[in-house]
Chains A and B, each alone.
Chain A
Amino acid sequence: MSPERIVAVSEEPALLPDLVRVGRSVGADPSDRVVAVLLPGVPGDAADRARAAGAHEVHRLVAPASTDPHVLTSALEEVVRTLAPTLILVGSTKRGRELAGRLAGRLDLPAASGVTALRTEGGALLLDREALSGNAVATERIERRPAVLALLPGTTAPSPSVAPPGPAEDRTVAPVPPLTETVEVRAKAGGQLEIEKADRIVTIGRGLRKKEDLPLIEALARALGAEVGCTRPLAADAGWLSDDHWIGLTGHRVHPKLYVAVGVSGAVQHQVGMRSAQVVVAVNKDPNAPIFAQADYRIVGDLYQIVPALTKVFST
């Protein structure tokens, strides 16, 4: 078996230390190397954090900062040519998946995204990834190298190892003209809530008849010391709550100790967002709502009667 040479790419700098740690555990042999690659424009402290996480080497790509996928993948193509990695890791963010796909297409490499666990078996990579809209786990095998993998936060890998310090090296990248031009970047409205960190969540779904009834749900959340979550229709379609409240496949994945789903039918795309909650309470007037299959405590009833009663009981 030839040594692993693993490149961790800083598409999302906050995820880079995790990628390095996964790289170190996959490449646990003394002859294996983990190289952190900082894309142009990434803040310098990312280098320190990558080293602290165990990177053997840090390479800073020197070029004008860009978000154009062609510019970024061209820089990564050069990295692949010069560093000859066996494995390229990026974060499974929207941009990360885009880069993984484009790079894989440029160089005809195996690729997978949404990876939640990674290990090697002989020279092959074995990975778990989300499948069926996140409600199942697919185990996949990749023999051909190098491979490009986009890892979800919290990806597990066996035996993380301790880091030696390593030098940071600047690497000038030949410039390529961008294929797209950024006209404007605007922050999303809201966006302040980090619901994936919440311990308790009260989530409201389409059972809520109108936006003006939201205080009903907010009062219950206050009584329980919980954040307010919502399903896709309330955020994306109706816009009653901002995207940072949205729980589900294309919203946020949450892991609270207590999850109270009110008027939530429980579409599979919602379940993937909440399935790792410890204790689930569901309130729904439809006894056949799919959410009940995911519930520890089931309350069949009209939320307009149940929620005020819950608020009263939990406020005292």
Chain B
Amino acid sequence: MAAVEPHPIRLVVEDDLARSRLTVFFRLLLAIPHLIWITLWTIAMVLIAIVNWFAVLLTGRLPGGLHDFTAAYVRYTTHLNAYLYLAANPYPGFLGTPGSYPIDARIEEPERQSRWKTAFRIFLALPALLLMTTLVGAGGGGGGGGGGGGTTGDTDFGSEAAWGAGGTASAVFVAAILAWFAILARGYAPVGLRDLAAYGLRYAAQTFGYVLLLTDRYPNVDPREPPATQPTPEKPVRLRVEDDLRRSRLTVFFRLLLAIPHFVWLFLWGIAVFLALIVGWFATLATGRLPDALHRFFSAYLRYEIHVFAFVLLVANPFPGFTGTPGSYPVDVEIGPREPQNRWKTLFRLFLAIPAALLNSALSGPLYVAAFLGWFASLALARMPESLRNLGAYVLRYSAQFYAYLYLLTDSYPYSGPAEYVEPEVALEPVPTWPDAPPEPSF
């Protein structure tokens, strides 16, 4: 992976996953003082954002005092959202002090900004705001609010603020709901859900920073950037991406229509898969293994599904084949050999799959928005932006693991974290250590 200049707004995660069941259970109520406070702060921020806009337009740089005020606001919204979305445990402070919270936004000193980008900032920010809405929710989640854009910060967690475009729940919101149950049961947060929330919060902080004129660097939605510093769980279902980002304008323009024969074939094949699944469920329950023929049949269908959706959603370029042949497509699913499966997990597979199904559905929002934005970008540039492609690949990887679980190909639960482990090429900056917490990934 090529080294990329770090974004001036980064997220530092020093959370140890431990959670207090009591504060988690009452989290929404405990946050009420913060919700009142952020409403007031957001009103002030809207006015300050207008001042910011004129200041940057005139001087080409955000003056120090305004920068500090705005940075504190962005940090505070990050702390509060991390608390509300269960990405961190402690009760946050009210001032957005740097380094005061296990999930913190690192914001660099003011730098020169392009006046053109400043003049049209609110329009330029629209794609990022749209993506943020589906990923984190309107207004960046529980707190925050696009000051410069005049959007108001709806601060009620679980209200419309946590819902994505088109009325669907945002991915981070659904992750938080699932984490709430998991934490109450186990006393700590699942790492995948925490990392998903952190990823969303990082993107929200960068989007707010862009809208509120802290920086003119565009928010980066790439889930692999920067790479994770610790291995993610080994999974029998993995996504292999060998796409070169090149896109054919003609096939991009007609992509949905070109996929129609694939949709028909997916539907017909899906009927056979549904019937075979019933047989497979009984067989796995009886023998503890999915029969080899069914394992191959479901694997081919799953690969084919991912090929088709990678094509439709612009995660890859070529027209896919109809057979789901392994290695035949630049975005491919690698499925491990069949293994013995836990009979209890098989017996209750449908019910166990419900949380993953909810998250899979919520992740489709960012996926579709990335494809929508990527469609315009690919038509203009004949190239898919890497960050959008990687977001698509992340969601497809989760989908592949979810469907593999549903199709009895594995009893390993899908991993929801956005980053897969990659050996970092650039040494990450040392970050202050949260008291009594082991080092955690930096997003």
Are A and B interaction partners? no
Which residues of A pack against B, CB within 8 Å? Answer: none
Which residues of B pack against A, CB within 8 Å? Answer: none
